[in-house]
Amino acid sequence: MAKRGWFGESQGTVCPLDFRYGRKEMLEIFSEESRLEYLLKVEAALARAHAKLGNIPAEDANVISQKANINNVSLEKVKLIEQETKHDLMAVVRALTSEAGSAGKYVHLGATSYDIVDTAVAIQIQNAILLLKSDLINLLKVLVTLMKKHNATIMLGRTHGQYAVPITFGLKLSVFAMEFYRHLQRLSETEHRICVGKFSGAVGTGA
Final residue in a domain of this structure, among 76, 111, 146: 111
Residue 207 lies in a domain: no
Residue 1 lies in a domain: no
173 and 94 inside one domain: no
Residue 92 lies in a domain: yes
How many domains does the chain divide into?
2
Question: What is the reported pLDDT for 23?
Answer: 84
Contact indicator for 112, 69 with CB cutoff of 8 Å: no
Question: What is the reported pLDDT for 192?
Answer: 87
Count CB neighbours of 86 within 10 A.
8
Residue 151 lies in a domain: yes
pLDDT tier at 10, thresholds 50, 70, 90: very low
23 and 96 inside one domain: yes
Residue 90 lies in a domain: yes
Residue 10, strand partner residues: 4
Instruction: Give the whole-angstrom CA distance, residue 143 versus residue 28.
Output: 28
Instruction: Give the whole-angstrom CA distance, residue 42 versus residue 116.
Output: 6
The pLDDT tens digits for 86-113 are 999 999 999 999 999 999 999 999 999 9
Q: What is the 3-state secondary structure (H, E, C) of 95-144?
A: HHHHHCHHHHHHCCCCCCHHHHHHHHHHHHHHHHHHHHHHHHHHHHHHHH
Return the SS3 of 199: coil
Q: What residues contact 106, with CB distance under 8 A and at least 6 apart?
A: 47, 50, 56, 60, 61, 64, 100
**What CATH number does residue 63 fall under?**
1.10.275.10
Question: What is the reported pLDDT for 182?
Answer: 97
Residue 36 lies in a domain: yes
Question: What is the reported pLDDT for 16?
Answer: 56
31 and 72 inside one domain: yes
The pLDDT tens digits for 126-148 are 999 999 999 999 999 999 999 99
The pLDDT tens digits for 158-185 are 999 899 999 999 999 999 999 999 999 9
Domain membership of residue 87 as a residue range: 17-111
Residue 44 lies in a domain: yes
The pLDDT tens digits for 12-68 are 455 655 566 778 898 899 889 999 999 999 999 999 999 999 999 999 999 999 999
157 and 105 inside one domain: no
Residue 12 lies in a domain: no
29 and 85 inside one domain: yes
